[in-house]
Amino acid sequence: MSLLEVKNLSIMFGGLCAVDDFNLSVEQGELIAVIGPNGAGKTTIFNMLTGIYRPTSGSISLDGEDLIGLKPWQFAKKGITRTFQNIRLFSNATVADNVKMAHTMHNDQGLFKCLLRLPSMKRSERALDEKVMELLDRLGLADKADLLAKNLPYGDQRRLEIARALMTEPKLLLLDEPVAGMITAEMEDMARLVPKIRRDFGITIILIEHHMNFVMPIADRIKVLDFGKTIAEGTPEKVQKDSKVIEAYLGGGYAKNGNAGS
Amino acid sequence: MKKSSIKRFLGLFLALAMILGMTACGGKKEAGGVDDDTIKIGVVCPISGNSAIAGKYITHGVEVVEEELGGKIEIGGKEYNIEFIYMDNEASEEKTTNVFQKLIEEEKVIAIVGPDMSKCALAGGPIAQKAGCPVVATFATNTAVTEVGDYIFRACFIDPFQGKMAAQYIWESGYKTTAVMFNNADAYATGLTDAFVEAYEGLGGQVVAKEEYSGSDVKDYNVQLTKLASSSPECVFFPNLLGELGLQIQQARAAGLTCPIVCGDSADTPEVGEVAGAAVENVAYVSAFSAEATTDAAKSFVEKYTAKFDGETPNSNAELAYEATQMVLYALQNADELTREGVRDALKEIKDLELPSGKMSMAEDRNPIKGGVVMQYDADGVSHYVSSINPN
Amino acid sequence: MTYFFQYLIYGLQLGSVYALLALGYTMVYGIVGMINFAHGDFLMIGALGTYFIAQAFESFQVGSAYPMLIIGLIILIAMVGTGAIASGVEAIAYRPLRNKPRMIALITAVGVSMFLENFPRALPFIGPNPRSFPTLFQAKNLDLFGATITTTQLVMIVLAVVTMVVLYLVVNRTKIGSQMRAVSMDKDAASLMGININKVISITFFIGGALAAVSGICYASAYPQVDVYMGSWLGNMSFVSAVLGGIGDIRGAMLGGFILGIAQIFATAINSTFGYAVGFIILIVILLVKPAGIMGRLVVEKV
Amino acid sequence: MKGKKWIKAVYPAAVVALIYLLVTALRGVGIMNGYYNQVLMFAGINIMMTASLNLVNGFTGQFCIGHAGFMSLGAYGAAVVTSMLFKNTDSVFVFLLGLVAGGFAAMIAGMLIGLPSLKLKGDYLAIVTLAFGEIVRALLRLVKPIGGARGMIGIPGYANLGWILFFMALTLFLLRNLIHSPFGRAFIAIRDNEVAADAMGINTTKYKMTSFCIAAFIAGVAGGLYAHVISFIQPDNFSFTKSADFLVYLYAGGSGSLTGSVVGATLLTILPEFLRFLADWRLAVYAVILVLVMLYRSEGLCGGLELPFMRIRRQELYEEPLFGKKTKGKGEQA
């Protein structure tokens, strides 16, 4: 059985069909990229996969469990977390606290233990901190643990978002444009980091990008979206050669996909 | 790191020391009574806040006494300086406790005149009682005020008596049915309503409609008054605060209530007539005092007051403040010794004191034994004496 | 049921006061994005100011009323004066805080409100006295479906609706209106487009203040008692109306005001003991059903 | 290191004890008197109210403007216990029982109003809390056994400065611990970015409720203390004006800072008393000072600052620093 099974996922906003009949089956440990021009509906798919939007029709199941109708935090609890295209950190908290915040749902310390700061609570806080520092160390943020998130440089903010998402101990990690707005050097860093995370944590990753040269070397499979519809799917090599993809990216795709926006 | 936290600790300590220092620039004198031949009397009233208008009249009332005395008082052949200290309590219980503490502990007053409201008197009372400082509340008509302890007195009559007066007046004027509208958020109004209804029904009258509203902020009484009018009462009773009465009277007339309207003693203020305009005709109210009274004490008070404040006629707020102050002065002059305790004992013994509202004696329960009057407004908003009602 | 229309008129009368004040409130709210707790005090300034201006014009009085021209002049002076005070307050107390968290401006507004109430109170010639508001025009009673409506009530209700329409047109159809909308959406971008933000916001406050003066005059004509504290409660109620209608929505502010007024009156009519509480319970229920106000659409945050 | 930890542990207790001893001593020699005592008692109560409001508004990012409603329920709850249920028992335990009862009364009300309404955002939530405060006030007026509009008379004056300082210190201690725990972090996450908090698996409704209920409980206890200071309470004492006072203390002190709540509530409680020499002009001048403070220190007097013992740094988790060499002592602005 595959880890994530998405069938016939569609969503309408008003009369506009933002995503139409999206299907995806993800195996444990895969790295899948969803690409497509701006406005193709990529982020909308992520929003449905994390419960922020409720799809008009279709099904999402993780490990065979249906997730439709759950709230975002329940999606996270089931094991899907994400990063955001427009960075959404807890900007007035420190880097370490940002990561700890993502651990909230695994917290086993009761309210009264916390109010009184009993020794057992202190111990658990320390264990958590060690874990967080280890994670930050792996992502190269350990020396910035006590800075406020809003004071981090841009590239570090992206990495912090990933660190935070990893702290929820997800089965499936969704990365929404992890290299958007990055300079080449930063992008190369990220291209090394993503496969490393996949290897080290043994998790499954879906990422959205439109930088082809970032995606091509790291993805197992690629899905190409345009106007809410899947126009191509397969290995990077196959997709790269697909004529529809080339049209969508180079323009002139309207002629053939005239009905796509309806 | 260690250094900086020590610095911070020092900083905090200094801040605390400053706060305490700021608060600690007060008096160092012995508790209670007379110092350097100066007698201090505290006056507590709302100078700001929603009831500031009452505070204005109270201040005026005491200022008349201040002028009479000219800063000096002779007690037992010795002349003392006398000083009145006015304190704003914003008509709030919390602030009343603050200013009571300030007057008692810091200003070392020998007695306190005021506050005017029952709620404030009830909050301040326990403090004065504990410190042993006599208080003469001016307008606090709630029965419970003087029950706080033997240092708490009042200058006005109590709710049950006022309710009885109003009921008696309405009944004796031949009105068998009355409708009531009152502020259910206000202690004065609810207390007076209960007292009135009990007394009126006891006399055989019938309360045909009883409508409520909540709080002084809501100035729209149309619905309630329409309902009152539909019960066609022979008389209407408004036991409400002075800031509300003017509009109530006006709206009542507009709603078709042409019958006589009777109010509590809070109606004794020129603003009611001013706001209500011509509608104020045929509005009667019970009061502690009539500015038309012919006794010497009353005449001299009205004369001095009118002269001092540009022809303003004293109302019962001012008059009761004046009387409360006079009671304290009387007690000072008749006290065995010039201490708070002495003043309290003398206040208890007040007998046949000539005051503008008539002869007054202090009862066992520290409430004054005095009668009341019924007054009625004419179309110009001037109130005239109708009848007197004696205690019991 | 016999009194249904009469109560409805009372509800509309009270509602029109809330609505008129809420219109100015919601405009400032929508365009500048701040909760102006002192807005109710602008109403007080308008009403109290009118009282003093009318006194100055006393010699023109005919009987107990004034000629039309003088009334217009009095109202105009009050509107301009209050509008100027509102812009002045904005320039002194709110402008420096424009880019700070909005709570900060809110607290400043509380301070301004305290000042506007306590400063005139302490002035000897104003003081805490409640005063009788002059009769600007003689009200006549009209008959409507067996209920009585006075001309004052009629004017107030109509004025609330007309003001709403005019304001709506100003904001949506005029140049200054489009500048206002630009400022409300993005101050920085608007500024880059060459819009003088200070001017636009000053004008917004001026209109808000002038409207507050009009509502003050209406309120005081219907409930002819003016004092320095009269505005605070009305300010709160109009804030409630504005939010109830949907933040920053001009049509919503008017609807919110009328609904609040009618709810309060009918709750009181059904049971005057619980009327006050029930009015607020209705408010909560409406917000639970329409969590973004009556006219507001729930905006899903863009993710 | 050990020595410092020890000092730090007794810091808060020592400071509070010091204030108490100082006040007592100053009263003993006659420098301070009952007036200062009274004002400090209200300051202590206001600190509790402001700090608890800070939990909701400052740390969880919600907007509650009806906090006095919780205070009134606490005041009445406590007063009912001490002056009606156990009228003739004059014991500390009755007082404490009363305070706890007041706290629970407020907390239950917090739950009732929070459950349906905490999904509302920003000003819409604010309006509901305002309405809640007004409804509580309106209903308390109508309950005759507790005096209705006439208020409750003769509540025993159990509360004194010692008790109030104790509860104030306890409140600050518990809130500090809470804020530096998974709960507090969840609150701050909700404040900083609700969408992200939700996506990170934080059940926002649950944590908002928790924050709301804890704040209501503290407000209830503070209300209980208030009732036993003032010995007479009536519903109109807890009007919107009072809620607005706490908002002013909170933001003038600096929201999101417990130190700010202490400083804001203390200074602004003392200031109007300090200005009494201005007589008529007192409140106008107070207003001007308030506006000036906001203009010149718009993040609040202590915005973004926290005294050392009001926060817990990450490093304190380690007796022997694990990452010490690398991370210790670096940027610690919280």
pLDDT digits (tens, 9 = 90+) for C115-155: 999 999 999 889 888 888 988 777 788 887 778 888 888 98
Backbone phi, psi, residue B377, to 5°? -80, 145
Is residue B367's pLDDT more than 80? yes
Taking the CA of residue C179 and the nearest CA in chain B, the distance in Å comes to 38
For residue B164, give Cα distances in angstroms to B207, B286, B389, D66: 14, 10, 10, 40
Task: Please report residues of C whose CB lies closer than 8 A to that of B227.
Answer: 269, 272
Q: The tokens of C60 are what?
A: 């023109």
What pLDDT shows up at residue D4? Answer: 58
Domain B160-287: homologous superfamily in CATH: Response regulator (3.40.50.2300)
B53 and C CB contact within 8 Å: yes
Task: Please report residues of C whose CB lies closer than 8 A to that of D58.
Answer: none
In the beta sheet, which residues pair with residue B261? B236, B283
Q: How far apart are CA B135 and CA B131, in angstroms?
A: 11
C168 and D CB contact within 8 Å: no
Regarding predicted confidence, which is higher, C124 or B178? Answer: B178
Is residue D319's pLDDT more than 70? no
What pLDDT shows up at residue D31? Answer: 75
User: How do the domains of chain A map onto residue ranges?
Assistant: 4-90+156-250
Q: Give the whole-number percent of chain C exceeding pLDDT 70.
A: 96
Cβ contact, residue pair B213, C224, below 8 Å: no
Summarize pLDDT for D119-145 with one digit per residue, the tens.
898 889 999 999 999 999 999 998 989
Mean pLDDT taken over chain B: 87
Is residue A197's pLDDT more than 60? yes
- Give the nearest chain A residue to D174 (CA atoms): A115
Candidate from B56, B212, B226 with C-beta closest to C6: B226
- Give the nearest chain A residue to D59 (CA atoms): A92
Q: Which of C300, C302, C303 to mutate to test the interface with A (most CBs of A within 10 A)?
A: C303
DSSP for chain C, written as a single string: -TTHHHHHHHHHHHHHHHHHHHHHHHHHHHHH----TTHHHHHHHHHHHHHHHHHHTGGG-BTTB--HHHHHHHHHHHHHHHHHHHHHHIIIIIGGGTTS-HHHHHHHHHHHHHHHHHHHHHSTTT-S--EEPP-SS---EEEETTEEEEHHHHHHHHHHHHHHHHHHHHHHHSHHHHHHHHHHH-HHHHHHTT--HHHHHHHHHHHHHHHHHHHHHHHHHHS-EE-TTHHHHHHHHHHHHHHHH-TT-HHHHHHHHHHHHHHHHHHHHH-TTTHHHHHHHHHHHHHHHSTT-SS---PPPP-
- Quickly tell me which residue has 């107030």 as its tokens: C156
Tell me whether the CATH fold assigned to B38-157+295-370 matches the one assigned to B160-287.
Answer: yes
Q: How far apart are CA A142 and CA A96, in angstroms?
A: 8
Chains that touch A (3 or more CB pairs under 8 A): C, D
Residue at B53: amino acid letter: I
Return the number of other C-beta atoms located less than 10 Å from residue B311's C-beta.
Answer: 8
- Mean pLDDT to the nearest integer, C177-187: 89
Candidate from D116, D120, D130 with C-beta closest to C240: D130
Nearest in space to D159 (alpha carbons), one of D103, D53, D230, D259: D230
C303 and A CB contact within 8 Å: yes
Regarding predicted confidence, which is higher, C82 or B19? Answer: C82
- Give the nearest chain D residue to A144 (CA atoms): D327
C-D Cβ pairs (cutoff 8 Å, strict): 116
Is residue B4's pLDDT more than 80? no
Summarize pLDDT for B11-42 with one digit per residue, the tens.
455 555 545 444 444 333 344 556 668 899 99
Is residue B341's pLDDT more than 50? yes
B278 and C CB contact within 8 Å: no
What pLDDT shows up at residue C200? Answer: 93
Candidate from B223, B247, B275 with C-beta closest to C10: B223
Q: The tokens of D196 are what?
A: 């992200």
| Non-local CB neighbours of D146 within 8 Å, separated by 6+ positions | D76, D79, D80, D84, D140, D152
Q: Give the whole-number percent of chain B exceeding pLDDT 70.
A: 91
ipTM: 0.90
Summarize pLDDT for A230-249 with one digit per residue, the tens.
888 999 888 888 888 887 77
Task: Count Cα atoms within 13 angstroms, Cβ side, for A3.
Answer: 19
C299 and A CB contact within 8 Å: no
Taking the CA of residue A240 and the nearest CA in chain D, the distance in Å comes to 33
What pLDDT shows up at residue D185? Answer: 96
Q: Give the whole-number percent of chain D exceeding pLDDT 70.
A: 92
What pLDDT shows up at residue D325? Answer: 42
- Quickly tell me which residue has 């001593």 as its tokens: D25
Q: The tokens of B344 are what?
A: 């309290």
Chains that touch C (3 or more CB pairs under 8 A): A, B, D
What pLDDT shows up at residue A129? Answer: 94
Is residue B135's pLDDT more than 90? yes
Task: Please report residues of C whose CB lies closer than 8 A to that of A53.
Answer: 300
Is residue D330's pLDDT more than 70? no
Tell me the domains of chain C and their CATH numbers: 4-122+147-289 (1.10.3470)
Is residue C89's pLDDT more than 70? yes
Local confidence band at B345 (pLDDT 50, 70, 90 cut-offs):
very high
- Mean pLDDT to the nearest integer, B86-113: 93
Taking the CA of residue D57 and the nearest CA in chain B, the distance in Å comes to 25
Cβ contact, residue pair D134, C281, below 8 Å: no
D325 and A CB contact within 8 Å: no
Name the 3-class secondary structure at B18: helix
A34-38, B11-15, B325-329: least confident range: B11-15
Name the 3-class secondary structure at A174: strand
What pLDDT shows up at residue C165? Answer: 94
What pLDDT shows up at residue A258? Answer: 38
Return the number of other C-beta atoms located less than 10 Å from residue C227's C-beta.
Answer: 25
C7 and B CB contact within 8 Å: yes
Backbone phi, psi, residue B279, to 5°? -65, -15
**Which class is domain B38-157+295-370?**
alpha beta
D9 and A CB contact within 8 Å: no
Is residue A261's pLDDT more than 90? no
B-D Cβ pairs (cutoff 8 Å, strict): 133
Mean pLDDT taken over chain A: 88
H or E segment to which residue A134 belongs: helix A119-138
Residues in chain A: 262
C151 and B CB contact within 8 Å: no
Summarize pLDDT for A99-151 with one digit per residue, the tens.
999 999 999 899 999 999 888 898 999 999 999 999 999 999 999 999 999 99
- Give the nearest chain B residue to D12 (CA atoms): B9
Q: How far apart are CA C132 and CA C144, in angstroms?
A: 29
Is residue B169's pLDDT more than 70? yes
Chains that touch D (3 or more CB pairs under 8 A): A, B, C
Task: Please report residues of A whose CB lies closer than 8 A to that of C303.
Answer: 43, 47, 52, 84
Is residue B237's pLDDT more than 90? yes
Q: How far apart are CA D312 and CA D333, in angstroms?
A: 12
Judge A/C contact: 3 or more CB pairs < 8 A. yes
Q: How far apart are CA D262 and CA D240, in angstroms?
A: 21
A52 and C CB contact within 8 Å: yes
Mean pLDDT taken over chain C: 89
Cβ contact, residue pair C293, D124, below 8 Å: yes
What pLDDT shows up at residue D117? Answer: 87
- Quickly tell me which residue has 């709750």 as its tokens: C267
Taking the CA of residue A207 and the nearest CA in chain D, the distance in Å comes to 16
Cβ contact, residue pair D138, C280, below 8 Å: yes
Task: Please report residues of D whose CB lies closer than 8 A to that of B115.
Answer: none
Task: Please report residues of C whose CB lies closer than 8 A to that of B55.
Answer: 128
- Mean pLDDT to the nearest integer, D104-128: 92
Judge A/B contact: 3 or more CB pairs < 8 A. no
What pLDDT shows up at residue D333? Answer: 39
Is residue A208's pLDDT more than 60? yes
Regarding predicted confidence, which is higher, B30 or D69? Answer: D69
- Give the nearest chain B residue to C267 (CA atoms): B223
Is residue D327's pLDDT more than 70? no
Tell me the domains of chain D and their CATH numbers: 2-322 (1.10.3470)
Q: How far apart are CA D117 and CA D133, in angstroms?
A: 14
Is residue A259's pLDDT more than 90? no
Candidate from B56, B217, B274 with C-beta closest to C131: B274
How does DSSP classify residue A15?
A: T
A4-90+156-250 to CATH, choices 3.40.50.300, 3.40.228.10, 3.55.30.10, 3.40.50.720: 3.40.50.300
Summarize pLDDT for C1-26 with one digit per residue, the tens.
568 888 999 999 999 999 999 998 99
Q: Which of C90, C100, C104 to mutate to test the interface with D (most CBs of D within 10 A)?
A: C104
| Non-local CB neighbours of B121 within 8 Å, separated by 6+ positions | B96, B115, B135, B137, B140, B142, B145, B152, B154
Local confidence band at A255 (pLDDT 50, 70, 90 cut-offs):
very low
| Non-local CB neighbours of C167 within 8 Å, separated by 6+ positions | C23, C27, C207, C211, C250
Interface of A with D in 190-229 (CB under 8 A): none
- Mean pLDDT to the nearest integer, B72-87: 90
Summarize pLDDT for D215-238 with one digit per residue, the tens.
999 999 999 999 999 999 999 899
Task: Please report residues of B whose CB lies closer than 8 A to that of C269.
Answer: 223, 227
Task: Please report residues of C whose CB lies closer than 8 A to that of A43.
Answer: 303
- Mean pLDDT to the nearest integer, A177-186: 89
- Give the nearest chain D residue to A164 (CA atoms): D200
Regarding predicted confidence, which is higher, D7 or B23? Answer: D7
Return the number of other C-beta atoms located less than 10 Å from residue D164's C-beta.
Answer: 24
Candidate from B5, B28, B148 with C-beta closest to D31: B28
H or E segment to which residue A232 belongs: strand A229-234
- Mean pLDDT to the nearest integer, C41-67: 86
Summarize pLDDT for C190-236 with one digit per residue, the tens.
989 889 999 999 999 999 999 999 999 999 999 999 999 999 899 99
Summarize pLDDT for D151-181 with one digit per residue, the tens.
898 899 899 899 999 999 999 999 999 999 9
